[in-house]
Structure 1
């Protein structure tokens, strides 16, 4: 059983067919006895940040669009940022792991601008109740793996699922080339 904690990645296994999560990579932002919360890193939308949160348009990493963070509270927005220096955390920054954290979007942009190496805004999030995510991991729906800094802010997210699996040790890396239906191989 995996020890779930903030900052880790959940990589959807091929058996996870829920269209909300098929071939997704989820960054865990919170995980404790009450449940877990994360955002899908590889589902950019076509909606420019400038159309929805104009003040943040010049601060977000490319592509400068909202990302579909998950099926929960899709009308709301959540921002994830990486600090340039852990000694320079701005007002409104809540640490998730090391230099990665959640940014309060009610914070004036000028207090945050310049202190971040990257910022991405998500519409909605993925959420699990107490014990739910642990059960999904145990049944084989998710691989739990460590994250690396480039995962959260890469410009082209199309290959993120395969790239995260490919860098894992042992047989887990083999799953990066697995067809959807192994019987057709």
Structure 2
């Protein structure tokens, strides 16, 4: 039965109409994605052009407290105040993402770059106190995901990813939340049916 479920999921993701990758869009991994590093992943696209696609995985919380590595940012970081692993590339680099406060003029705030309504990429050269006043919360991600020209398109065509708009709260979901299931649940049918798909099918 598990093999039939996997096969059906793969065919479903290939057949579904999907959005185009762009900054502010999410890449939601297929239930049966072959690359186990991306099982139940939700990746926010930060940059997408002809040369490269960069994204940050929103689902991988580390055991490292922000206080232990970047204590100046504690006032701005949402709970749980842990460093997240944004992807396998350049994990010495830290990416800041957040949800702007209501009424903040993102275009007039030099350290914020709009990705979607209230969803921002944060320039970490800014003062943490300034950022804390401009956002309702943020996360810090070590590393990022990267695709070469054409690579992501091939993976989407193969049914590995479903492309959907992000909500600003996606970047600061509570630690107890299952973001992959939540994003699946808010999509048109039949995707909500897969929101309960287990992480390890062989255990069911």
TM-score by length of 2: 0.82
Once the two structures are superposed, residues 138-172 of structure 1 have per-residue CA deviations (whole angstroms, 9 ceiling, x without a partner) of 00111111222221111125411111111111112
Structure having the larger proportion of residues in helix:
2
In 2: Cα distance, 1:181 partner to 1:46 partner = 22
Aligned residues: 185
In 2: Cα distance, 1:182 partner to 1:113 partner = 41
Q: Which position in structure 2 is the counterpart of 1:109?
A: 128
Segments of 5+ residues of structure 2 without an aligned counterpart are 1-17
Equivalent residue in structure 1 for 2:53, among 22, 27, 36: 36
Q: CA deviation at 1:24?
A: 0.8
Once superposed, which parts of structure 1, at least 4 consecutive aligned residues long, lie more than 4 Å away? Answer: 179-185
Q: CA deviation at 1:14?
A: 2.2
Equivalent residue in structure 2 for 1:145, among 164, 183, 189: 164
Segments of 5+ residues of structure 1 without an aligned counterpart are none
Once the two structures are superposed, residues 71-103 of structure 1 have per-residue CA deviations (whole angstroms, 9 ceiling, x without a partner) of 111111010122113425533222222322211
RMSD of aligned residue pairs (Cα, Å): 2.1
Is contact 2:99–2:119 with CA below 8 Å preserved after alignment?
A: yes
Q: Which position in structure 2 is the counterpart of 1:164?
A: 183
Q: Which position in structure 1 is the counterpart of 2:105?
A: 87
In 2: Cα distance, 1:69 partner to 1:162 partner = 19
Q: Which position in structure 1 is the counterpart of 2:39?
A: 22
TM-score by length of 1: 0.90
